[in-house]
Amino acid sequence: MPHVVLVLVESVNDYLHMLENQGYELILAPTPASRAEAIARHGARIDAVLTRGPLGLQADEMAALPLLRIICVIGAGFEQVDLQAASNQGITVTFGAGANASSVADHAMALLLSVVRGIPQADASIRRNEWVKVRQPSLSGKRMGIIGLGAIGAAIAKRAAHGFDMSIRYHSRQPHPDSPYTYCASVLELAAAVDFLMIATPGGSATHHLVNARVLDALGSEGYLINIARGSVVDTQALISALTAGKIAGAGLDVFEDEPRVPDPLKTLGNVVMTPHVAGQSPDAVEATVQLVVDNLRAFFAGKPVLTPVPLPHPA
């Protein structure tokens, strides 16, 4: 009997043949309605789930999947997966640590360049047959702060330090003793010390609204915020207020608190560059992400340790 994988994501469809080639039976359920129907109809056969952080998997859904043994989360975040429920049921959880780090880091720098150098505005002016030259800040030699120095944060730091000669400071739950960068004990301290603040930390309750009005005030009127992590890390209303009042110079956003809904005020501001959560969506990154899922499933069903386990709480 083949292993049955419930696929809740839609962004990797072009690469699902990599799972099928390994003999897995796939049940695709990318919408809330199809998800509920698939669990009700096929729940007794499903032993693996493929999801992503914002989609997650809840305790009641796990309870409806009696054979479920492993949840594979694509991407670095797993904020909507009920880890306590998984632990209680003895379910292994893996995530896509590092698989799309290069793509996300590239996109982070692209957003930074776009908003700091005013690329969208310059492009739009030419399309209006205008020839408007505006002096914009340079990036070289500036100070970058990174919230979260995991695989993505480290990749951003490498590009900024070696490509743009920036000095790097960071904040994370614990300092990295082997890091060449300067550790800041709080996000507030970090924001006050840098020109560009990059968010590369996981979402979830521990980081909810970590970047708030105080942090934005500390970043200052010449500072720029880039978020390629999770929308929940930033207090959206505080960000809109700061951008509107000129308390920060601009923002580059790939993620939002209530995706795919984006607040209308953000759409009207000229100092914001936005993309629809596509930082990790290069072909190379998606293929690497699915390959990591394949490798984790192969290891798990062979009785070997998975490659990228999510630490789980003790069973309750």
Contacts (Cβ under 8 Å, ≥6 apart) of 131: 125
Which residue type, as a one-letter code, is found at position 219?
A: L
DSSP 311: P
The neighbour count for residue 20, using CB atoms within 10 Å, is: 12
Based on the residue annotation, tell me whether 230 is a catalytic residue of this protein. yes
- The token pair that represents 310 in the structure block: 């999510």
Based on the residue annotation, tell me whether 208 is a catalytic residue of this protein. no
- The token pair that represents 206 in the structure block: 């521990």
Do residues 114 and 120 touch, judged by C-beta distance below 8 A?
yes
Between the CA of residue 242 and those of 116, 234, 259, what are the distances in Å?
A: 16, 12, 21
Terminal C-alpha separation, the chain: 32
| Catalytic site residue from 10, 20, 222, 259 | 259
DSSP 90: T
| Catalytic site residue from 159, 230, 257, 261 | 230
Edge-to-edge strand ranges of the sheet holding 167-171: 182-183, 167-171, 143-147, 196-199, 224-227, 250-253, 272-274
Based on the residue annotation, tell me whether 259 is a catalytic residue of this protein. yes
Question: What is the C-alpha to C-alpha distance for residues 7 and 16, in angstroms, rounded to an integer?
Answer: 9
| Catalytic site residue from 117, 277, 287, 298 | 277
Do residues 226 and 112 touch, judged by C-beta distance below 8 A?
yes
Question: What is the C-alpha to C-alpha distance for residues 234 and 215, in angstroms, rounded to an integer?
Answer: 10
Orientation of helix 101-117 relative to helix 151-164, angle to 10°: 50
Question: What is the C-alpha to C-alpha distance for residues 60 and 251, in angstroms, rounded to an integer?
Answer: 38
**Which phi and psi (to 5°) does residue 168 adopt?**
-120, 130
Q: Which residues are catalytic?
A: 230, 259, 277
